[in-house]
Amino acid sequence: MVEKKIKLMQGNEACVEAAITAGMKFYAGYPITPSTEIAELSAEKLPKVGGRFIQMEDEIASISAIIGASIAGVKSMTATSGPGFSLKQEGIGYAVITETPCVIVNVQRGGPSTGLPTAPGQGDIMQARWGTHGDHSIIALYPWSVKEIYDITIKAFNLSEKYRTPVILLLDEVIGHMRESIELPEADEIEIYNRKRPSCLPEDYKPYRVKEGDLVPEMAGFGEGYRFHVTGLVHGETGFPTSNSKIAEELVRRLVGKIEDNKDDIVETDEYLLDDADIAIVAFGSTARAAKSAVDTLREEGLKVGLFRPITIWPLADKQLVDLSKKVNRLVVVEMNVGQYYLEVDRVAGKYTKVDKYGRVSGELITPQEIVDFIKEV
Amino acid sequence: MLHQELRLTGSGGQGLILAGIILAEAALYDGLNVVQSQSYGPEARGGASKAEVIISNKEINFPKVDKCDLMLALTQTACDKYIDSIKPNGILIMDKSIPNVPVREDITIYLVPIIETAMNSLGYPMVSNVIALGTIYEITKIVSKASLEKAVCNRIPRGTEELNIKALEEGYNLIRNHKEECFGHGCRFN
Amino acid sequence: MPSQLVNEYFRTENLPHIWCPGCGNGIVTRAIVKAIDNLGLNKDEICVVSGIGCSSRASGYLDFNTIHTTHGRALAFATGIKLAKPNLEVIVITGDGDASAIGGNHLIHAARRNIDITTIVFNNNTYGMTGGQYSPTTPTGDKGTTAPFGNIDMNFDLCELAKAAGATYVSRSTIFTANMLIKQVENGIKNKGFSFIEALTICPTYYGRKNRKGESVDMMVYLKENAINIAAYDKLPDEQREGKFIIGEIYQSSRPEYTEEYQKIIDSFSKGV
């Protein structure tokens, strides 16, 4: 028997373990399948580390509560699925404009509306990007295994703290519910990033002032003597509302820029057998696991196929996709929807190579054989 | 290469998902790669329930079971629904309470009184899932006995270890002592 | 010359405020600040949370930890803040539409939890910021821009709602009885639990004009003449209660407070129980 720190763990459980390691001290949520285990485990584990859990009256209340807690200085998270993710959009926009770090987990299920509660889907790719109203940019990450859920949850917290922005962690019913072996890293192997604290005296503090060359303001917490104001209205560096058009333009440009101009730091991708590939499959989450099996099968049959897997879904890995499209004859985007990420891949890579899509919205995971057949048929 | 895909089926509340977790954990103790998943309907009790375990000495990519090497069926509904998903030369362990034995010439079928043993020999219907694990072990030896017993004790309520180890043993014995209930072209007792 | 109270507690650089001439919101805001001053609370430990609407703009004028949230959600944000930092004195400023229409669910659940938050509803019977639509507290029959033929909805009694939902301090006052309002805010803050204070205010610009209620002073006179203290109201015969409304401390009770109960769970682990 192997006596290492290897555990059998569910995806949703790995998310909670990682969140606590990343410093989560507050969770607010509302029960919804297939994300409920994240709330249940947070309820059980948080008080043991001095944190707090609350089951709120609805999804909007939950995201509102975590934003409040984060502004009070505490790392916070909520989790939901499809219908709840629609309701979270109000709060996501507020967190964007108020630059409040927080993590929103969406364990995707079949939609639209109540859809297929216990079945997987990947139909929230575009909602993660554009679900809340108004111009903004967003960070959305999508792991594909239990181990990676652990690592990427920590990354989600780190990016939210570093860029003072909500980070969406996309999972799906398959990876959220399945159990796999995981070897938890030691504490000293994990890098934790905390929001930058004010470097000035309270009387000089301006909550949205950015230093020369930086795009992210320093963040004080409520009750620490800074007595600042937070609003979802357009605001200048003082935090107070204004309708000054120059300030409005600058604010939205900076909110977008702090993410889009830092893609080198934010975007993470993975690849498999792409070096000599003629065809590249583009897939993420549980679908990428089917795609990887398909690559192996097609390779055995002599076809030079590889896998490109964006872990950062938003901001778009456009540089990597363009580079890839110049190397291969064909890109095949495989996703459990009718073609959402495909729209972006085709937009940036379509002028260099042929881009195809294969999708499924039946609530069943796409199988390796389906992908093999599709690639051979076309 | 070792690569086995198992499907445990029945109705909600029979402890099949827990059985899948225990089997996966035992394989993990043996140093193997595992993926365990499940599907269920909207009901918490009743309805169709299905747990799946993939055990391999290689990396497991696709996490779902399509065609399985072994299937456990505790209800007629589950048996009928998934019978065609057993690979040729595969194994079906079905509870003896299931009235209609499926017709599959190319598999081995074990018709075993799992639920009855839990109710009558042990007096606890809820240990059917652990008895079933005992039968799976005895037929496949896919995990080591020590790992299976450790995994069972790790996942069951404290204080019920003795009962559950006994349930495992009942499972082993059901296969050893009921040779007449094994049939099909691959029956090793033929 | 701004008063001592204004200098001490307001962000004078953000004044003048956006409220219309004759609006009652300034009186309610002053009452809150005066109560805080009377209690001698530390400004750094006060957090004022507001929603959306005319009244909710007050948070930006006050020199505390302040947050102007989304429509209806002030209590949900406040719940997160209070749980994250239970030592903060959390005060919610909200309006009738904010608190009882879009935020009605959050109101009843905050009351049910008895979380230590003091909520002051500026009730002007209308949606002022969007131009005078009828709200859940617009009296039946009155007009709004979305009730041009008279409101057919029954209006809420917010105090009865808060009481039924579990608030442990419930009171009502008016901008005419401002001293009573100050005392109520003090008592609400002092109550360890969910406190609900309904401040009846006036909107001469929209509600008043639409319903021919006269100028600001006329509306103040109306509040003065029809508000009856709870003790006196109880003694009034039914026929004299017609058209009157209760002011005063309507309900008080004592039961476990939410953040304290949660702290017990945390302590049970840190003590190794």
Cross-strand pairs, C94:
C121
Asked if the Cβ–Cβ distance from B33 to A175 is below 8 Å, we say no
Share of residues in chain A with pLDDT > 70 (%): 99
User: Which chain A residues contact residue C265 at CB under 8 A?
Assistant: 47
Which of A189, A216, A242 is the endpoint of a domain?
A: A189
Note whether A234 contacts B: Cβ–Cβ < 8 A: no
Pair A31, A130 in one domain: yes
Residue B45: pLDDT band (50, 70, 90) is low
Contact A66 C80 (CB under 8 A): yes
Q: Are A365 and B36 within 8 A, CB to CB?
A: no
Determine B/C contact with 3+ CB pairs under 8 A as the test.
no
A184 and A78 in one domain?
Answer: yes
How does pLDDT run across C170-191, given as a tens digit for each residue? 999 999 999 999 999 999 999 9
Task: Mutate one of A70, A230, A238 to test the C interface: name it (highest C CB count within 10 A).
Answer: A230
Residue A1: its pLDDT value, please? 47
For residues A304 and A278, the answer to whether their CB atoms sit within 8 Å is yes
DSSP string of chain C? ---HHHHHHB-GGGPSPSPPTT-SHHHHHHHHHHHHHHHT--GGGEEEEE-SSTGGGHHHHBSSEEEE-STT-HHHHHHHHHHH-TTSEEEEEEEHHIIIIITHHHHHHHHHHT-SEEEEEEE-SEETTTT-EE-TTSPTT--BTTBTT---SPPP-HHHHHHHHT-SEEEEEESTTHHHHHHHHHHHHHSSS-EEEEEE---IIIIIHHTT--SHHHHHHHHHHHEEEHHHHHHS-HHHHTT-EEEEEEEE-----HHHHHHHHHHHHHTT-
Domain assignment present for A74 = yes
Q: What domains, with CATH codes, occur in chain B?
A: 3-184 (3.40.920.10)
Question: Count of domains in chain A?
Answer: 2
Q: Which residue of A has its CA nearest to C105?
A: A57
Residue B46: pLDDT above 70?
no
Looking at the structure of chain C, the number of domains it has is 1
The reported pLDDT for the residue numbered A223 is 97
Residues A182 and A277 placed together within one structural domain of the fold = no
Residue A315 belongs to what domain range? 269-377
Nearest Cα residue in chain C from A231: C68
Taking the C-alpha atoms of residue A360 and residue A366, their distance in angstroms, rounded to an integer, is 7
The predicted complex's ipTM stands at 0.97
Residue A113 in any domain: the answer is yes
Cα–Cα distance between C247 and A225 in angstroms, integer? Answer: 37
CATH code of A112's domain: 3.40.50.970
Mean pLDDT of all residues in C137-159: 97
Asked which of A189, A209, A239 is the last residue of a domain, the reply is A189
A150 within a domain of the structure (yes/no): yes
Which range marks the domain in which residue C49 is found? 4-270
Looking at residues A12-26, what average pLDDT do you find? 98
Residue A217 lies in a domain: no
Look-up of token digits 């790992």: B147
Determine contact: A72 vs chain C, CB below 8 A.
Answer: yes
Kindly indicate the confidence band of residue B39, based on its pLDDT and cuts at 50, 70 and 90: confident
Domain co-membership, A72 together with A178: yes
Do A52 and C269 make contact, defined as CB atoms within 8 angstroms?
no
Helix (H) or strand (E) holding A322: helix A318-327
Q: What is the pLDDT of residues B133-187, one digit of tens each?
A: 999 999 999 999 999 999 999 999 999 999 999 999 999 999 998 777 777 765 6
Do A73 and C85 make contact, defined as CB atoms within 8 angstroms? yes
**d(Cα C89, Cα C44) in Å, to the nearest integer?**
9
Residue C234 burial class via C-beta count within 10 angstroms: exposed 0-12, middle 13-18, buried 19 and up: exposed
Shortest CB distance from A71 goes to which of C76, C79, C81? C81
The CA distance from A177 to the nearest CA of chain C, in Å, is 28
Does A326 contact chain B (CB < 8 Å)?
no
- Residue of chain A whose alpha carbon sits nearest to that of B40: A118
| Chain A neighbors of C81, CB-CB under 8 A | 68-69, 71-72, 222
Domain co-membership, A184 together with A295: no
User: In this complex, which of B21, B29, B42 lies closest to A179 when CB atoms are compared?
Assistant: B21
Contact between residue A341 and residue A282 where contact means Cβ atoms under 8 Å apart: yes
Instruction: Indicate if A152 and A22 belong to the same structural domain.
Output: yes
Can you give the CATH number for the domain in which A370 is found? 3.40.50.920
| CATH number where C82 lies | 3.40.50.970
Do the Cβ atoms of B64 and A174 come within 8 Å? Answer: yes
Kindly tell me if the per-residue pLDDT of B190 is higher than 70: no
State residue B188's pLDDT score.
56
CA distance C241 to C228: 9
Query: What is the per-residue pLDDT across A290-328, written as a single tens digit (0 to 9) for each?
Result: 999 999 999 999 999 999 999 999 999 999 999 999 999
pLDDT at A2 over 50: no
**Cβ-defined contact of A365 to B64 (cutoff 8 Å):** yes
Whether residue A107 is predicted with pLDDT greater than 60 in this model: the reply is: yes
Q: Which residue in the set A56, A72, A76 is minimally distant from C85, CB to CB? A: A72
Residue at which a domain ends, from A189, A205, A238: A189
In chain C, residues with a C-beta closer than 8 Å to the C-beta of A27 are: none
The pLDDT, as a whole number, for residue B185 is 61
